[in-house]
Amino acid sequence: MSKTSENLANAFAGESQACMRYLAFAEKADQEGYPGVARLFRAASKAELFHALSHLRAAGGVEGTLENLKSALDGENYEFKQMYPGMIKDAVAENQLEARHSLEYAMSIEMIHAKMFKKALEDPHAMEEAVYFVCPICGNTVSGKPPNKCPYCGVDAKDFVEVV
Which tens digit of pLDDT belongs to each residue from 89-133?
999 999 999 999 999 999 999 999 999 999 999 999 988 889 999
Confidence of residue 24 (pLDDT cuts 50, 70, 90): very high
Instruction: Please give the tally of structural domains in the chain.
Output: 3
Beta bridge partners of residue 142, listed in sequence order? 133
- 138 and 163 inside one domain: yes
Helix (H) or strand (E) holding 82: none
User: In terms of domains, do 114 and 136 share one?
Assistant: no
Percent of the chain past pLDDT 70, that is, above it, reads 100
**Which pLDDT tens digit goes with each residue over 53-63?**
999 999 999 99
Integer angstrom CA distances of residue 21 from 27, 104, 143 = 10, 21, 28
Residue 120: which CATH number? 1.20.1260.10
What is the CATH classification number for the domain harbouring 137?
2.20.28.10
Is-contact 108 79, C-beta < 8 A?
A: no
Residues 162 and 133: beta-carbon distance below 8 Å: yes
pTM across the whole model: 0.90
Whether residues 141 and 90 fall in one domain: no
pLDDT for residue 127 = 86
Question: CA dihedral defined by 73, 154, 134, 85, rounded to 10 degrees?
Answer: -20
What is the C-alpha to C-alpha distance for residues 133 and 115, in angstroms, rounded to an integer? 16
Range of the domain at 33: 3-58
The pLDDT confidence band at residue 154, using thresholds 50, 70 and 90, is very high
- Residues 53, 39, single domain; the answer is yes
Together in a domain, 113 and 152: no
Say yes or no: 120 and 140 in one domain. no
Does residue 92 share a domain with residue 122? yes
Do 67 and 122 have their domain in common? yes
Residues in the chain: 164
Does residue 119 share a domain with residue 139? no
pLDDT digits (tens, 9 = 90+) for 25-45: 999 999 999 999 999 999 999
- Per the prediction, the chain carries an average pLDDT of 97
DSSP-derived pairing of the beta strands 161-163 and 141-143? unpaired
**Model pLDDT, residue 145:** 94
Kindly report, residue by residue over 72-84, the tens digit of the pLDDT.
999 999 999 999 9
Residue 134 and residue 155: Cα distance in Å, rounded?
11
Of the candidates 24, 23, 125, 121, the one whose C-alpha atom is nearest the C-alpha of residue 73 is 121
- What is the share, in percent, of the chain residues with pLDDT greater than 90? 96
- The pLDDT value recorded for residue 1 is 84
Residues 122 and 73 in one domain: yes
pLDDT bracket for residue 164 (50, 70, 90): confident
Verify that 70 and 101 share a domain, yes or no. yes
Task: Please tell me whether residue 155 adopts helix, strand or coil conformation.
Answer: coil
Residue 9 has pLDDT above 90, yes or no: yes
